[in-house]
Amino acid sequence: MDKSRVSKNKAIFLDRDGTINEEMGYINHADRFKVFDFVPESIRIFKSLGFKVIIVTNQSGVARGYFSESLLKEIHHNFLETMERQGAAPDDIYYCPHHPSEGNPPYRQECDCRKPKPGMVLSAAEKWHLDLSNSFLVGDRYKDILFAKKLGIGAALVMTGYGQGEFTYQRKEWAYIPDFIGENLLDIAKQIEQFLSKRASVDKKV
């Protein structure tokens, strides 16, 4: 098959901690994984706009020995089941359990998947045939914005998690301004919906 003829999908990449669930440091017990109430509606909006919804998250707590990879998988499995019951299941979850200097092999390693390295996004792009130029990444840290910019992805910052603090005290030092800034993930979903609606109207006029 001619790969150039394969239709391209677009994606919303979501950071995990502080974006879809409460920021609690290293989540070493399933009960500490508390999803924000607005997440299901947010994901439903993204899906209605034709986006794949893909979580990309660094989880170096595995390498550091704070929790096991099996616990991490259990948390993600339970999350996906809960979201599916609400018609809002993400399409995929990518996580990096590594750290370059902490823990023991195989988790202590210089990998290509730990953000801001592009491994997780590039793997998702290949699997899901993604057009990154029409995709967005949402996170609560400025490093998420840098990560998105390096990959040519639209960048959105939420005020949940670390977002409010970084925006208030560090934005004067930022080299890039996010394409969208919102109170939370639902706010960002509505902003992107409005943006795409306006763009479609302009395209029709042209």
For residue 170, give the DSSP letter: H
Q: Let me know: does 60 contact 114? Beta carbons within 8 Å.
A: yes
Phi, psi angle pair for 51, to nearest 5°: -90, 145
Q: What one-letter code names the amino acid at 18?
A: G
Indicate which residue of 15, 140, 144, 187 is catalytic. Answer: 15
Tokens of 26: 């290293």
Q: What one-letter code names the amino acid at 71?
A: L
Indicate which residue of 17, 92, 144, 187 is catalytic. Answer: 17
- Cβ neighbours, 10 Å, residue 175: 8
In angstroms, how far is CA 6 from the centroid of its own chain? 24
- Cβ neighbours, 10 Å, residue 94: 17
Place of tokens 């996004």: 121
Q: Let me know: does 144 contact 176? Beta carbons within 8 Å.
A: no
140 is catalytic: no
Is omega for the bond preceding 106 within 30 degrees of 0, making it cis?
yes
37 is catalytic: no
As annotated, the active-site residues are: 15, 17
